Chain A
């Protein structure tokens, strides 16, 4: 309230209170909505996780989980590898983009976002035709004689069966590739948006004080862009650890991830929402732990980047 309004403020204080009250009541429908469609569903997951199909309390859903330990380990490991790969590819790209002129930056960022606007099922499907045994990559390698070369190296070996292709699809590598391809923009965009905001004078000052470009990067750009990397990590890791589409399409079910496991419990013949809820609950806990660790690193600097 401005100083000049103090006197009239005394009169309108009561009315002001009601106005404020009235205006905040605008949120009530949505608060109710959130209670119904955000909070209660998550509570339901917890309830289902701790009950059996007859309705009684049980811990069986969790004790049976030990059989699925390999799936947990594989999911977290592949998502981790994909996240690291996204940083290693995304950071240099973001840095390079942020060094361009503003106009070029706009175009390049748009080109990073463009593939994201295409349905991600289609983007993943595109990789199927590249990675298949008779796919374009294997065809290309065959046409330049790679397989002939490898086979000729084993010419004297009788136990050797000649190869006609590399096994690319239906492997862990294919799933990681799918994750990197789909989620790389989520790494590049937040990093770039943070680097661009770094005050150029800070960099200039460092250079004036005798820092070479390597030192400028290590002492200024890298620390100041860490918050972008951290929001990138959460934006890549969470969808990667929970995906089931990428593993279904690029491994045809041979690489089973947490998402596949959950999906199986809620659709199809093995319908068991109690077990599915228990797995979902554990996955949520994993995600929350990862994010809070990340936020510690980011010292609360992390910001929601909405594309």
Chain B
């Protein structure tokens, strides 16, 4: 009873065109020799050259990378410990805490950003500091941690409950239990959470916009300012480069994963053979 579902496929194909057409246009016009973003007048790489010579763009790129790396690593550490802590709590403590943990995930970005800026501005008035790199970093860590917890918690539930006891029976202190038995088992969850947190940080505009103040700019903030001011094909050039980076990363990750997947299938087969 296999059907072909031609209509559905055509509709899906059109949706993919809808998703990619603007991006293709963006990329094509990054090579356009005039400033126009609609009339093609010849091939050039000038916009890329200008991009790398633009000190504002380069410094904001650096800010974005610095913030994202520090925030995602910090979030991975705090989040992993927090997840282990939550996991060992009684349910009537854990549930409300996880609910609070989910607030930044489900809340609108603008409210997270605005509420943090209220906090930073009012505390800053008392302690004499201003919005800047520090507040930006705290904001990023704050909205990164929930994603780490959400990807580590399921891994903890998959753990064999006896693992704790087995490790302790074998003489591990409580710290060794965590470090030698638990962490390695939940590592895929931690890495996954770290990657999600990193991409969230790189992609964020709204929360940064409200918490960074006027002294620092992330790449998103610079792009926003550029789109508000005037047309510059440098924006197209950034898009193209980012798209290329993402594409390459995704391909690498996928090739690696499918290799792992194949290796696992092989392992399973071998194990089955041994057991039989």
- Judge whether A284 and B12 touch: CB under 8 Å: no
22 inter-chain pairs at a CB distance below 8 angstroms, sorted by A residue, are A1-B165, A31-B82, A36-B119, A41-B118, A44-B119, A45-B114, A48-B118, A99-B5, A110-B254, A115-B23, A118-B243, A121-B223, A122-B26, A130-B25, A181-B22, A213-B3, A242-B108, A242-B110, A259-B110, A273-B118, A291-B106, A306-B196
Minimum CB–CB distance for B95 against chain A, Å? 13
- Judge whether B97 and A129 touch: CB under 8 Å: no
Residues of B whose CB lies within 8 Å of any CB of A are: 1, 3, 5, 8-9, 11-12, 15-16, 18-23, 25-26, 29, 37-38, 78-79, 81-89, 93, 97, 100-112, 114-119, 121-122, 138-139, 142, 145, 147, 150-151, 162, 164-165, 168, 174, 178, 196, 199, 203, 205-206, 209-210, 219-220, 223-224, 227-228, 235, 238-239, 242-243, 246-247, 250, 254
Residues from chain A with a CB closer than 8 A to the CB of B115 are: 41-42, 44-45, 280
- Judge whether A122 and B238 touch: CB under 8 Å: yes
**Interface of chain A residues 10 through 50 with chain B (CB within 8 A):** 19-20, 22-31, 33-34, 36-42, 44-45, 48
* A-B interface contact total, Cβ < 8 Å: 232
In Å, the complex CA distance between A149 and B149 comes to: 59
Instruction: Give the size of the chain A interface in residues (CB under 8 angstroms).
Output: 90
Minimum CB–CB distance for B175 against chain A, Å? 9
In Å, the complex CA distance between A287 and B109 comes to: 12
- Judge whether A248 and B228 touch: CB under 8 Å: yes
- Judge whether A96 and B114 touch: CB under 8 Å: no
A289 within 8 A of B: no
Minimum CB–CB distance for B102 against chain A, Å? 7
Residues of A whose CB lies within 8 Å of any CB of B are: 1-2, 5, 19-20, 22-31, 33-34, 36-42, 44-45, 48, 89, 92-93, 95-97, 99, 106, 108, 110-112, 114-115, 117-123, 125-130, 132, 134-136, 139, 181, 184-185, 207, 213, 234, 238-239, 241-245, 248-249, 259, 262-263, 266-267, 273, 276-277, 280, 283-284, 287, 291, 304, 306-307
Known contacts A118-B239, A242-B109; is A136 also within 8 Å of B196 by CB? no
Closest to B192 in A: A306
DSSP majority for the A interface?
helix
Could you list 4 further interchain pairs (A-B, Cβ under 8 angstroms) beyond the known A30-B85, A130-B25? A38-B142, A39-B100, A114-B247, A125-B239
One of B83, B108, B165, B174 near A287 (C-beta < 8 A): B108
In Å, the complex CA distance between A111 and B19 comes to: 9
Minimum CB–CB distance for B252 against chain A, Å? 12
- Judge whether A181 and B19 touch: CB under 8 Å: yes
In Å, the complex CA distance between A42 and B111 comes to: 8
- Judge whether A266 and B117 touch: CB under 8 Å: yes
Minimum CB–CB distance for B113 against chain A, Å? 8
